[in-house]
Every structure is written in C-alpha cells, then in structure tokens.
Amino acid sequence: MASGSESRELECMICLKLFTDPTTIPCGHSYCIECIKTFRQSQINKYNKYSCPQCKDPLGKEPELKKNTTLCALVELSKTAEPKQPLSPTASEDGTHHSQCDICNPERATATCLTSNMSYCCKHVETHYENGHLKSHKHRNVIEAVCETGGEYQCVDCVAAHPACLYSSVQGEFDKKKETLKRKLESVTSAIQTTEENLAKRSKEKREIEQSAARINESLSREFAELRQVLEEREKAALSAVRSSQKAASSRVSQIIHGLSSAQDALQRKKSELELVNVKDFFEFLRTDLPETEESSLAVDEESTALIQEEGSAVKDAIADLKDDVQSKLDNAIKAIKQTQTEGFANLTFDPNTAHKRLALSEGNRRVTVKQNNRTDSCMQERFTISQVMASTGFSEGCHYWEVNTRLSKGWAIGIAYQRLGRADKLGRNALSWCVEWSRSRFSAWHDSVEVRLPQGELSGIGVHLKCDEGKVSFYAVSVSETLLHTFDVQFSEPVFPVFWLFGLDKGSALSFVEP
C-alpha cells in the first residue's frame, strides 16, 4: 500500500484526486488531461492562459497532451491505498472579503502567496507548501495588512510577530491607490482633451492658412495673367502702330525715291544737252541759250524717317516707365508679405553674463559653442554652474517667435524660464522652466521634473512660439515645413527668458539663433 506522501505525489493539483489519464507538460508537472484542458480554457487562469497552474512557467504555444504511461501504472498500483481526505474550506468568521482560489474557483481562498501572486483554498494551500518548487514562499494566511514602515504586505501571523510596526489595511491601501489612479487618469484625460482641442484648433488654423494662401495664389495668378494679357495686347497694338507708321513712311519714301529717280533722269538729260553745247566757236557759244536746271529737285525729304524714329522712341520710353513702375510696386508688395511673415520674430542674443564658464559666445552673441579652455570670469553670480546660458531679452506680453539651429549639437535642451531660475537648476527639472530636449537618442518635453516622451527623432532646428497673453509656449520642428512638437499652457506670473542647455560639453558642440 502506498504511503500518504507517495499517494499525494500521484494526485492531480487541480482536482486533488488520483490521476486519471495523467499527462506531463513541458515544465515537468503532471495533471489529469481533462483537468489541465479545462484549466486552460476557463477564466480562472487570469494570469496566463498557457502557463502551469503550479509554477506559472509559460508554455508558449499550447503543447500536445499525451498520456504518461508510467504515471498511469503507478496510479493503478496505488488504488488500494486510502485516499487522504482534503481539508474543508475555512469560512470567514468576521464576514470580511476574501479572494477566490485561483485553482478551484469559486472556493474561498484562505492564503495568498505574494511571491507567485496566487490565492489558495484550504485544499490547495497544503499542496502549495509541500511542492518543492514553491515551499519557500511565505504567508500561510490571507494578506490583510500593509506595513507602513517597510511597505511589505503581511498576513495576521506576520502582524502579530512585528507588534512595533504600524499597519494599514490592504483594502484601505487598495482604495487609496485606486483613488490616486483615478486622479491620475482624470489628469491625463484632461491633458489629452486639452491637447486634442489644441490640435483641432491648430489643424483648423493650418487649414485656414492653407486655404487663404491658395486663394491669394489663385488671385495673384489671375492678376498676373490679366497683366500679361494687357501687355500682350499693348505689345500687339504698339507693333501694329509701328508697322502702320512704317508702311506710311515707306510709301512716302517710295514716292520720294520715285521723284528723285525722275529728277535724276531729267538731270542726266540736261547734262547731256549741256555737254553738246559747242564751246569751240566763241560767237556761236555766246548766241546759244543754255538749258534751265531746277535746284529744288535735288533736295532729300528726311521728315518721314525722323517721324518713325520718334514714334518708336516714345513706345520704348513708355515700356521702360511701365516696367519700372510694375517692378517697384511688386517689390513693395512682396516686401510687405515678408514683413507680415516675420512679424514678432525676436532678434535674440545670448547673455554672456549667464553663460557657463566653458561656453563661448560668437557672431555677435548669436552663437554659443563649447570650448575646453574658455577664458571667462567664472565668479560672476549670474553665471550658470551647469552648461546653460540665458538669452539677453525676456518677454512679459505679446507674441514672440525665434528659431534655433541644432545641427552642431548631439544633445541639447531649448526652453524658457523665469529669470530667477537658480544657477544650478537644470532646465525643465523645476517649476520655473519649460523645455523640449534631445538626449540619448530620445526626444522629450520637460516641466517640473515631469517628462513627456515625444515620437520625433533628431532634429536640425527648433522653433519656439511664445504667446504671453494667452499663456502658451509651443515648440516646432523646423525643416521644409513646421511640425508642432509640444505645447505648454502656463499662466505666466513674471517675465520669461529663453534658456539653452548643451549636454555633454563635447568640444565644438554649438547652438545658434536663426536670422529672421
């Protein structure tokens, strides 16, 4: 006859009876085939559908279950032994709530294992402690208290063993943490709602800008097309007028040419007649009448040529005046558009009195660079003791925008802060500053030591849009187009200054302001 301990080894941990068609799963534990199938398919297994009920070893893909013939034979040999009756479940005397057994739900649990996070009824708790893999787990009673000193969860036996400690109920801690979770969810939900509203507002604003630009482009294209049409019509009219003048002048000149040709012929005849006059006979020559000649027929009419040249010069002068006028007016209009685009673009410089001793300023204090041996007065009270620098200009009202080139820096933070920011305070790690940063291949927004991870990667430029009156500061990725990265909603109580942080102090690392 098998002993009690040997009989226990042949019992299924789920049904607590001798194995029926036992099977062994990959972790080495054995169960009845139907029991382990039912356990997998039930909702009792709330931790992992494909894990061992005893050791919680994940089984991955559901294994094929095969009968363990050796265990079948041992079960047959032990059937003559008296089966050990399992303990009856212990009812709660004070009516307090207990969790259900994770093995044989809905039996009430009488003990909880904090190591495996499993609850057991009185039947399965003994098996839990006798199992070699689990016997090191503690707490034989239900966890009911939390030590306020060490934060450990304790059963009634542990509470009795440590009378000097202060305890609170698990239910109370549960309710307290649940309330904290509720507040955090409400805060995050509110933040999400605010962000969604801002996104919707900015998306609408972007669509309106795009639609307005499209309308303006269409109008400009139409106006230029009409202008080109007018110029083409005037060109055709001018060319036609020149051609008409040319025809009229050519006609007049042709007539003159014809007249001159006729005059030439007549003159040739006169010449011939004059050449025939006899000059040898003195008295005969004196008696001969010489032919008459017309001096006026020798004149050349240049009036038509001068007239057409004058008309052509007048058209050319009119075109030149029109060209200058159109170019001047268009240049002024384009300049006005550019001025509208850069309205509020802050012309910032770095404050040399606040720069860390290893930060050097150049290009009119519009560029800050890490130098290994920078000669500066490190004793100035305004100077940061970490690699930060503040801008010279602060803002308390209105809208302002500036851009920073980050191409030459592997790690940086760009933001704003009150001027009273401590000279050892890191940007974004306190209630006085707000920033975005790129560090360790991670992009984040920071305020009061709270980090918000952002999905973007490394950027070549950052744009900052500060709206003091609305209490908003927005950060944009600057490239071909602007992409909103993050917006802080702040009720500013005093002027804020742009602040910059260069990480790592790598020689040559630099940030610079972009020209408007």
**pLDDT above 90 (res 253):** no
Structure tokens at 499: 């602040």
The pLDDT tens digits of the residues spanning 171-218 come to: 888 888 889 999 999 988 988 988 888 888 888 888 888 888 888 888
Please tell me the least confidently modeled range out of 155-159, 175-179, 271-275. Answer: 155-159
Q: Give the H/E segment covering residue 192.
A: helix 170-275
**Choice between 398 and 93, residue whose per-residue pLDDT is larger:** 398
Rounded CA gap, 105 and 98, in Å?
A: 12
Q: Which pLDDT belongs to residue 433?
A: 96
Q: Which pLDDT belongs to residue 492?
A: 92
3-class SS at 31? strand
Which amino acid, residue 234?
A: R
Please tell me the least confidently modeled range out of 220-229, 391-400, 475-484. Answer: 475-484
Q: Which pLDDT belongs to residue 86?
A: 37
3-class SS at 509? coil
Q: Let me know how long the chain is.
A: 516
- φ, ψ dihedrals at 235, nearest 5°: -65, -45
Please report which confidence band the pLDDT of residue 48 belongs to, taking 50, 70 and 90 as the band edges: very low
Q: What does the angle CA 294 – CA 300 – CA 304 come to, to the nearest 5 degrees?
A: 140
Q: Which pLDDT belongs to residue 362?
A: 92
Please tell me the least confidently modeled range out of 37-41, 339-343, 355-359. Answer: 339-343
Angle between helices 170-275 and 303-341 (to 10 degrees): 170
Rounded CA gap, 107 and 113, in Å?
A: 16
How is 375-443 classified by DSSP, letter by letter?
Answer: ---TT-TTS-SSSEEEBS--BSSSEEEEEEE-TT-SSEEEEEEETT--TTPPTTSSTTEEEEEEETTEE
Rounded CA gap, 458 and 505, in Å?
A: 18
Rounded CA gap, 236 and 315, in Å?
A: 12
**pLDDT above 60 (res 344):** yes
